[in-house]
Amino acid sequence: MKRLTLFALAITLIATVFAAKTPYQAVLQHSRIRGRTHGPNVCAMQKIQGTDKKYFTNCKQWYHRKICGKPTVVSYECCPGYEKVIGEKGCPAALPLVNIYKTLGVVGATTTKMYSERAKLQEEIEGPGSFTFFAPSNEAWAALPTEILDALVSNVNIELLNALHYHMINKRLTSDDLKHGALFPSMYQDFDVHIHHYSNGIVTVNCARLVKTDQHATNGIVHVVDRVITAITNNVNSLIDTDDDLDTLRTAVAAAGLTNLLENEGFYTIFAPTNEAFEKIPPETLTRILGDPVALKDLLNYHILKNLHCSESIVAGTPLETLQGTVLEVGCDGEEMTINGKAIVTQRDKLGTNGVIHYVNELLIPDSAKTLLELVEGSVVTTASKLFKDAGLTDHLIGSEAVTLLAPLNDAFKDKSLAMTPDLKKLLRNHILKEKFSSKSLYHGQELETLGGLKLRVFVFRNSLCIENACIAAHDKNGRYANMFIVDQILAPPMGTVMDVLKADDRFSTLVGAIQRAGLTELLNKKGTYTFFAPTNAAFSAMPPADLNKLMRDPKELANLLRYHIGEEFLVSGAVTSHTRMKPLTGDKLELGTRNSTVYVNRVPVVETDLMATNGVVHAVDVIIKPLPPKIVSDQAEGSTIRRASAVRAGTQVMKKDDLFQKVLRSHSSRTMSRVQ
């Protein structure tokens, strides 16, 4: 019964949340649920430590106890429209309805109430009508620059009254009515106020956050906001045109042909680079981009989000799509707004009729506006970057040549000699493909030509995409003219057949003789896709001499042993997962896995991987591979066996307790189970 009650309660709570009409209402409902143990109409609030900022809590914030990366303190307060009663739990009493003027005092907007009286607005908001008042909090008034506040208050009959009227709408609007992107004419010359209602429950008016919503009055409704708002009359292009700090941006926008876009209707977010941001870029890079209409347009579109995001809407890092087609990670760190983890926003929320501008002091350059060299230098392949330059390949990295660079991760160069030699220079040329490829267009068996003249093969595995032994380890970097694939290993082009690879390596001299005795030479020279776990001389030396001599005298047994080391398919180390299976030429299966960057086959470690051949790949092992012993019976089956054995052992005892058994049969639970069956 208790379980049924809990289930019904859970269903009710879920239904309550999903019945909410808006994101704000959903968050409010969640706060109610979190506060319900403290009494009726209690909401859980999260306050950022060290600030006065409070938020109704959603699931993510509740469990993380963080907003904008800063820890929060949970408090329990009366939900909007309710108040405490002395001696009773929670907030059982609905606030009595009074007019808007008195409501301003009830909700703590006492400065707005005072200024309403000074501006001769009191009579209007006490009298008949149906108004919505976005009332600035006391802190919002205090945050105004002194000169602006003085100008307002010194001319109360005009400026202050106009400012307050701009915070009012001549009809009642609840939070449900404040839809995302809605415009409402204010009571100041019908200038619109701009509403944005975000999926995380944040609601803003002209980018000011509603901190107390739906405070009902007899003649309207009050929403307390966290800043004083001003009339919006210009589009974002006009704002850029009239700001001296954005001179370079204005020139770039015109050169890229984006002026019309920024003048048209829309809901854009522009991270506007200041003159200082452009000055930080190397002159040659800036000149190149400004002189390239395609790169310039991509660069500017990378600074423009497809949707309008006021700074108050950001409470955690969120990937947001740009007009350029990729995303920016827009987040916050305390009071700082961040882009891709960097606090580069110097001014926020300059609102226009068709978008909002946030000023940034660093230029955001997308990959699509970069040369190949800039892609390499701005990535995690710094060792490869230096080697390509040392090899004299810079011209291929900075020009307009359509190529694809295979850039190994830094770890790929561990334990490798980095001294520039003719062989290394030749190898690096083979890391540059002659065409501009996308990894999504590559297919199994495809051949790619390099600057060095080699043909490299593409292999598609279940979880890996590899070019020869080098598997792609990250998303493509798509530059202005060329692309870059970050790969996990230095490329190892094929060096003849499997038999050629073995003959060229002294570690396999015993194996080569064994292959010849077993009659497998032709197999390993012909066309195919073999994976050979090749025993080294050390593997054969580890065998007892008598066993080794016997094996070498029996070509059939020797052939069977070697064929068990040869897989029927091609498999490089980068494609091995924790439970990879391979069918050998003889025997049941080979079981592969990885641990601490080492590949294992039938629990034998592979000492060197990916010796590439034209008809397969060789992996060296220092131990002869043997079939694994049969697996132990599964836990379930084993448990069943144990239970059966226990039942047999306990059978006598059960029979001796027949009286207890009969009582169980007569019990209510037993009768219920019988009916169910």
User: What's the pLDDT at 633?
Assistant: 56
CA–CA gap between residue 21 and residue 603 (Å, rounded): 58
pTM (whole model) above 0.85: no
pLDDT tens string 314-339: 999 999 999 999 999 999 999 999 99
User: What's the pLDDT at 147?
Assistant: 86
pLDDT tens string 375-427: 998 888 999 999 999 999 999 999 899 999 999 999 999 877 777 888 889 99
Helices (H) and strands (E) in the chain, counts: 28, 35
CA–CA gap between residue 452 and residue 428 (Å, rounded): 8
Mean pLDDT (the chain) is 89
Tokens of 79: 């939900």
Average pLDDT over residues 558-564: 96
Residue 648's pLDDT band, with cuts at 50, 70 and 90, is very low
Average pLDDT over residues 597-617: 96
User: What's the pLDDT at 659?
Assistant: 53
CA dihedral defined by 194, 242, 348, 166, rounded to 10 degrees? Answer: -30
CA–CA gap between residue 117 and residue 562 (Å, rounded): 97
Least confident of 138-152, 162-176, 266-280: 138-152
- Radius of gyration of the chain from Cα atoms? 36
Average pLDDT over residues 57-79: 90
User: What's the pLDDT at 94?
Assistant: 92
User: What's the pLDDT at 415?
Assistant: 76
Residue boundaries of the structural domains of the chain: 23-93, 96-225, 236-365, 370-487, 498-621
CA–CA gap between residue 618 and residue 638 (Å, rounded): 40
> Do 370-487 and 498-621 share a fold?
yes
State yes or no: pLDDT of 104 exceeds 90. yes
The conformation of residue 560, written as its DSSP 8-state character, comes to H
Average pLDDT over residues 517-527: 95
- The Cα-based distances of 166 to 107, 309, 507 in angstroms read 20, 22, 85
Closest among 379, 2, 26 to 198, alpha carbons compared: 26
Contacts 24+ apart (CB under 8 A), 422-430: 424/387, 424/391, 425/391, 425/392, 426/452, 427/452, 427/490, 427/491, 427/493, 428/387, 428/388, 428/391, 428/393, 429/391, 429/393, 430/454, 430/456, 430/491, 430/493
Instruction: Report the top-level CATH class of 236-365.
Output: mainly beta
User: What's the pLDDT at 676?
Assistant: 34
Least confident of 321-335, 346-360, 619-633: 619-633
Contact (CB, 8 A) for 310 and 207: yes
CA–CA gap between residue 560 and residue 428 (Å, rounded): 40
Residue 650's pLDDT band, with cuts at 50, 70 and 90, is very low
CATH of domain 96-225: 2.30.180.10
User: What's the pLDDT at 634?
Assistant: 52
Residue bearing the bigger pLDDT, 35 or 62? 35
CATH architecture observed for domain 498-621? Roll (2.30)
Closest among 49, 78, 73 to 62, alpha carbons compared: 73
Average pLDDT over residues 460-472: 95
> Could you identify the residue written with the tokens 């334990």?
415
Average pLDDT over residues 502-519: 96
Contact (CB, 8 A) for 495 and 613: yes
Phi, psi of 227 (to 5 degrees): -155, 160
SS3 track for 195-216: EEECCCCCEEECCEEEEEEEEE
Residues 6+ apart with CB under 8 A from 138: 108, 109, 110, 111
Residue 645's pLDDT band, with cuts at 50, 70 and 90, is very low
- The Cα-based distances of 185 to 175, 245, 632, 638 in angstroms read 17, 31, 76, 75
DSSP for 246-291, please give it: GHHHHHHHHHHT-HHHHHSS--EEEEEE-HHHHHTS-HHHHHHHHT
* Residue 392 backbone zone (phi > 0: left; psi -120 to 50: alpha; other: beta): left
CATH architecture observed for domain 370-487? Roll (2.30)
Tokens of 386: 């230096």
Contact (CB, 8 A) for 102 and 108: no
The gap from C-alpha 570 to its chain's centroid, in whole angstroms, comes to 33
CA–CA gap between residue 67 and residue 399 (Å, rounded): 45
Contacts 24+ apart (CB under 8 A), 372-375: 372/396, 372/397, 372/398, 372/403, 372/405, 372/479, 372/481, 372/482, 372/484, 373/397, 373/398, 374/285, 374/479, 375/405, 375/477, 375/479, 375/482, 375/484
The conformation of residue 175, written as its DSSP 8-state character, comes to G
pLDDT tens string 106-136: 999 999 999 999 999 999 999 999 999 999 9
CA–CA gap between residue 116 and residue 110 (Å, rounded): 10
User: What's the pLDDT at 157?
Assistant: 66
Residues 6+ apart with CB under 8 A from 70: 48, 49, 50, 333, 334
CA–CA gap between residue 463 and residue 200 (Å, rounded): 35
Q: Please state, for a pLDDT cut of 90, what percent of the chain lies above it.
A: 80
pLDDT tens string 475-500: 999 999 999 999 999 999 998 999 99
CA–CA gap between residue 200 and residue 34 (Å, rounded): 17
Q: Please state, for a pLDDT cut of 70, what percent of the chain lies above it.
A: 90
Average pLDDT over residues 453-466: 95
